[in-house]
Amino acid sequence: IIKDIYTADPAPMVYGDTLYLYVTHDEDELINDFYTMLDWRCYSTKDMVNWTDHGVIDVESIAPWIYASWAPSIVSREEADGKTHFYLYFTNSATGIGVLTATSPLGPWKDPLGKALIDGKTAGLGTISQIIDPGVAIKPDGSEAYLTFGGGDVKGTDLQPGNARIVKLGDDMISLAGEIKPISAPCHFEANE
């Protein structure tokens, strides 16, 4: 689908009759010996053959506190104002999970918190060291939403690494409403989406 730039971590979402795909954009250079991922791209299709490139989601400009951003995960929900709201969660350079919001799948996106939703100081992380790759799920009626995240190094065994977590999101979708709990995820390394 995408042949002209480096991309990774596709997060799909169906809205109406359209499939949207949000992807990490990896520049062809390193900064401080690390990936250069400061924006994403959004693509859409109605037929899985013809794709529209909607351009850049400039995460660095929207959330200037990030180091790098990758692995977006998205859900939508109709809110009390009658509009559909979109919640786009992402990794901040393995140090936390951020969230952007919009009332259109194409934005404009905003940073409602001005900081990470989850970071190394968040209670309940346990021995997890890489706060990466969020996966968000919401009940069809919009009543409950959960966020999974984590990965990287093994704190248990190869079969049960002990590095995956789940937490219930608040009704506002930008806060936590429960304790962070470990997930039994055999052979888990990343990609909680």
Q: Which residues are catalytic?
A: 9, 190
CA dihedral (106, 110, 113, 117) positive or negative: positive
CB < 8 Å & 24+ apart, contacts of 107-113: 107/57, 109/57, 109/62, 110/62, 111/62, 111/63, 112/174, 113/174
For residue 14, the tally of other CB atoms under 10 A from its CB is 10
CA-based nearest residue to 191, from 126, 138, 132, 119: 132
Distance CA 106, CA 12 (A): 13
